[in-house]
């Protein structure tokens, strides 16, 4: 047992100590895009922002019908009034951000050198509350998800633009960690994200067809008709991890933040089109 | 009167023996529980814990507390199996994930 633990630690340590041998994020992204474009040659690059609806005509038809009366509209409205509310100190969310509300979504997730970690939009919003002496939201709180719905809606049509500056070794390490997580098999069912969302993309799993990972982050948060409510991206991670019978991580854990950082980078150049509607 | 005394002596001997057996069983359970828990913690530290393991451990403990040792050991065995398999998975994946990266 102790021997195993030692071995494990040393394997992990060596695997962390060799980032130089790894292809850079931009090569990874180009290969990722090439892969999905060759699997689905009839699908335009921009269409991948629509997830499963880019590749499945039947569910696309249903979705277009749903989009006539978007079930996430209420969340956008709620989010907007949250955004405009004044904190007890008289300030608002807008005072925390240098950018106008249509340019905030695209700034996250980002690596903040000073903090040494990936900051997601949810974290930035909660930081803003804390800085103004307001209680932070739980990461699955409706208020927080609605705020992200509003900011995604405002940002529609702006490109995903995650940056990994070459002079930020911490950003590259976070990206590599997210990439490792994405491609690692886990859980009792021994599945990696890539097994479903790359290798088996387009195949049926029970009532669902598996959507491509290219575009995975563009349309969150989403209204899920199955749940009758909105969920954020990391709640989806949590669900997929539970489905392979692995123990999920906490929302906004380092694991999920780095995974989001990697996945969002893979979607660079696609348009933000959240919030979305999904089964 | 003598036989009665003998039988009461027998009874206390029996009680003593069964208490000893139970104590032995309990310490064995505790030992195996601690071992399984170490595997679970190693799997968790590697980010590979499976979803059921800690619930199985809790159930094993509760069942042992209720004195149902056979079932308790069975649950513990399952937890131990999962935790160890999760550690092996983490060991494999420390390198195996690389071959899946799209190039």
Is A196 designated active site? no
Chain-centroid distance, C-alpha A264: 6
The helix/strand/coil state of A37 is helix
**In chain B, domain spans:** 27-100
Asked whether the beta carbons of residue A1 and residue B35 sit closer than 8 angstroms, the reply is: yes
Q: How far is A55 from chain B (nearest CA, A)?
A: 20
Asked whether the beta carbons of residue A185 and residue B54 sit closer than 8 angstroms, the reply is: no
Q: Cis omega (within 30 of 0) on the bond before A106?
A: no
Chain A residue at shortest CA distance from B44: A247
Query: Among A36, A4, A259, A267, which Cα is nearest to B83's?
Result: A4
pLDDT in tens, A63-95: 999 999 999 999 999 999 999 999 999 999 999
Q: How far is CA A3 from CA A6, A93, B42, in A?
A: 5, 51, 11
Q: What is the mean pLDDT of residues A241-268?
A: 98
What CATH number belongs to A1-279? 1.10.760.10
Is A31's Cβ below 8 Å from some Cβ in B?
A: yes
Residues on chain A touching B96 (C-beta within 8 angstroms): 184-185
pTM reported for the whole predicted model = 0.90
Please tell me the distance from the alpha carbon of residue B44 to that of residue A245, in angstroms, as a whole number: 14
Query: Which residue's structure tokens are 């998800």?
Result: A145
Q: What is the mean pLDDT of residues A125-144?
A: 98
Q: Which of A28-37, A260-269, B10-19 has the lowest mean pLDDT?
A: B10-19
Tokens of A23: 């292809």
When scoring B84, B86, B99, B101 by the number of chain A Cβ atoms within 10 A, the one with the most, hence best to mutate, is B101
- CA dihedral (A232, A238, A240, A243) positive or negative: negative
Please tell me the distance from the alpha carbon of residue B44 to that of residue B96, in angstroms, as a whole number: 19
Chain B residue at shortest CA distance from A23: B103
pLDDT in the model for residue B6: 57
Nearest CB among A11, A31, A181 relative to B94 is that of A11
Torsion of CA A230, A232, A238, A244, to 10 degrees: 70
A261 pLDDT tier (thresholds 50, 70, 90): very high
> Residues near B7 by Cβ (< 8 Å), separated by ≥ 6?
none
pLDDT in the model for residue A207: 84
Q: What is the mean pLDDT of residues A40-45?
A: 97
pLDDT in tens, A151-180: 999 999 999 999 999 889 999 999 999 999
B6-27 as b/e, with b when 16 or more CB fall inside 10 Å? eeeeeeeeeeeeeeeeeeeebe
The helix/strand/coil state of A13 is helix
Q: Would you say residue A12 has pLDDT above 80?
A: no
Beta strands A208-209; A204-205: pairing state? antiparallel
The helix/strand/coil state of A42 is coil
The helix/strand/coil state of A119 is strand
Q: Would you say residue B74 has pLDDT above 50?
A: yes
Listed by number, the residues of chain A in 203-222 with a beta carbon closer than 8 Å to a beta carbon of chain B are none
Chain B residue at shortest CA distance from A22: B98
pLDDT in the model for residue A271: 98
| pLDDT greater at residue B2 or residue A90 | A90
Cβ contacts below 8 Å, chain A against chain B, sum to 83
Q: Which of A18-22, A252-256, A273-277 has the lowest mean pLDDT?
A: A18-22
């Amino acid at each position: 047992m102790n021997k195993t633990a030692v071995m494990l630690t040393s394997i992990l340590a060596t695997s962390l100590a060799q980032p130089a041998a790894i292809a850079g994020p931009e090569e990874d992204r180009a290969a990722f895009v090439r892969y999905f474009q060759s699997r689905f040659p009839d699908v335009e690059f921009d269409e991948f922002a629509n997830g499963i609806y880019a590749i499945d005509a039947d569910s696309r038809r249903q979705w277009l019908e749903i989009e006539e009366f978007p079930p996430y509209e209420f969340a956008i409205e709620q989010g907007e009034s949250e955004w405009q509310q004044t904190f007890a100190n008289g300030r608002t969310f807008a005072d925390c951000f240098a950018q106008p509300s249509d340019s905030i979504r695209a700034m996250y997730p980002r690596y903040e050198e000073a903090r040494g970690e990936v900051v997601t939009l949810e974290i930035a919003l909660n930081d803003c509350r804390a800085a103004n002496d307001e209680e932070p939201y739980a990461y699955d709180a409706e208020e927080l998800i609605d705020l992200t719905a509003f900011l995604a809606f405002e940002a529609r049509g702006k490109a995903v633009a995650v940056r990994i500056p070459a002079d930020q070794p911490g950003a590259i390490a976070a990206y590599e960690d997210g990439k490792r997580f994405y491609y690692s098999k886990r859980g009792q069912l021994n599945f990696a994200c890539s097994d479903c969302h790359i290798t088996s993309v387009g195949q049926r799993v029970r009532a669902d067809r598996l959507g491509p990972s290219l575009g995975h982050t563009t349309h969150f948060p989403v209204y899920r008709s199955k749940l009758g409510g909105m969920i954020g991206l990391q709640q989806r991670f949590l669900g997929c991890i539970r489905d392979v019978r692995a123990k999920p991580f906490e929302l906004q854990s380092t694991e999920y933040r780095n995974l989001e950082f990697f996945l969002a980078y893979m979607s660079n150049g696609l348009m933000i089109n959240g919030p979305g509607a999904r089964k | 009167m003598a036989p009665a005394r003998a039988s009461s002596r027998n009874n206390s001997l029996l009680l003593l023996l069964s208490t000893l057996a139970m104590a032995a069983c309990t310490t064995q359970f505790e030992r195996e529980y601690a071992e399984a828990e170490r595997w679970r913690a190693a799997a968790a530290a590697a980010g590979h814990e499976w979803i059921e393991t800690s619930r199985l451990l809790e159930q094993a403990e509760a069942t042992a507390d209720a004195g149902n040792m056979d079932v308790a050991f069975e649950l513990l065995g399952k937890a131990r199996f999962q935790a160890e398999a999760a550690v092996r998975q983490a060991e494999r994946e420390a390198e195996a994930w690389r071959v899946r990266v799209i190039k």
